Each structure stands twice: as structure tokens, then as C-alpha cells.
A = this chain, B = another copy of it.
Amino acid sequence: MPARSSPRRRAKRKTYHHGALRETLVTTALELLDAGGRDAVNVREAARRAGVSPGAPFRHFPDREALLAALTRAIGEEFSAFSQQAIDGAGASPLDQFRAMGLAYIRYAIAHPRRFSLLHAETCSDPDALALFTRESETVALIARAQRAGLLRPGPPDAVHLAAQALTYGLARMIVDGHLPREGAEALAESVLDVFGRGIAAGPKRAPL
């Protein structure tokens, strides 16, 4: 980004062309989302912050829904990169990778609750964003590998996947929705993931809960 003279925002432009309005609107929408949730993502305000007239955004998005969809997609990509990083840093054991993915899910929800919310609320209308988010094929592959390695009990990988994802999703949602005390939520989540892990893990003896 090139350096500019002091007042970054609302500086009167000399041209009628913004240059990267679409991008800027998505960035601004993200600010509004983080500050006030989905309801606060407001086309007029986004235009104002971009230093542009109220009608301008509609040249790039047919309506507010479309702006929200673009925002959702950006967030989906961000999350995807974040969780990929967690998996890469988790070592070779599929069980560890599995756990790392669940934790990444929950950490993201704690760090960016409104993004997490939007991602899921809006996801029906943007299947691509959903695919980025659930990472279904990766997870099922992880489970199958863990089973072959004798780390998990045998059984249909997609059922295990669904159970694991529901558990993780539920935990994350509970944190986002305020059902869980905010502090210590991550530690709590870890222990719940472990309860589940011990439940599906193979092994000669059952540890107590």
C-alpha cells in the first residue's frame, strides 16, 4: 500500500474513481461486523467510510445480501488458512491433527465470534464458503488414517466425522452465544474434546472420564 498524506479517511477525492471500491467495501464491512454484528453491516455506512456516495456500492453488489455474501466468503478463506496452519503445526499423528483442527475451530470462534456467527448463518447461501469451513474431506481422511493406524475404533469415518464436527461446532457456538463463561472457555473446550477423544479412541483399557 502506497503512503498517503495524513487524513486517511474521508479525505475528499479528486477523481470520481475509487480504484478498488469493492475491496474497500468488504474490508469496511468486516470492521462493522466486528464492532456490531451482522445487523451493523450497513451499506450506507460502508459507503461513508469509503468516502463514496450512497449509491456507489450498488455498482459492485446487487444488494446488501451480496455484500454480506462477499464478506462471508472472505471470512471463510481467512478461517481456512488459519486452520490449515494449525494442522500443519500439529505433527504427523492423525489424532493430534484431528485435535488441532478442533481447537483451531474453537480458538477462532473465541477470537472472532461475530465472524464465526456470520460464517454459519450465511453459509447456506454460499456453498463454497461452507466447503472452506467444514473441511469435510480432510477430516474424513484423517479419521480413516487414524483407524488404519489402530488409533481409533473401527466404524464408518463419516459418522465419526459428523459426531466430531457436531461436538466442535456445538462448543464453538456455545462460546459465541454466551452459554459458556468467556474466561477459561478454551481450557474447558480442550477437556471436552478429550472426553470425546477417549470415547472414540481404541485402546486396551478404558480410562475413567
Contact = CB atoms under 8 A, between A and B. Distances in A.
Instruction: Indicate how many identical chains form the complex.
Output: 2
Given A130-B179, A160-B209, A166 B192 contact: yes
Q: Which of the four size classes fits the interface of chain A?
A: 35 or more
B163 A167 contact: yes
Mostly helix, strand, loop or mixed at chain A's interface?
helix
Contacts of A159: 191-192, 195, 209
A166 B174 contact: yes
Contacts of A80: none
A177 B195 CA distance: 26
Contacts of A154: 208-209
A120 B180 CA distance: 12
A170 interface: yes
A176 to B, nearest CB: 9
A181 to B, nearest CB: 12
Contacts of A120: 173, 177, 179
Contacts of A91: none
Contacts of A171: 166, 170
Interface of A: 117, 120-121, 123-124, 130, 134, 153-156, 159-160, 162-163, 165-171, 173-174, 177-179, 188, 191-192, 195-196, 198-200, 206, 208-209
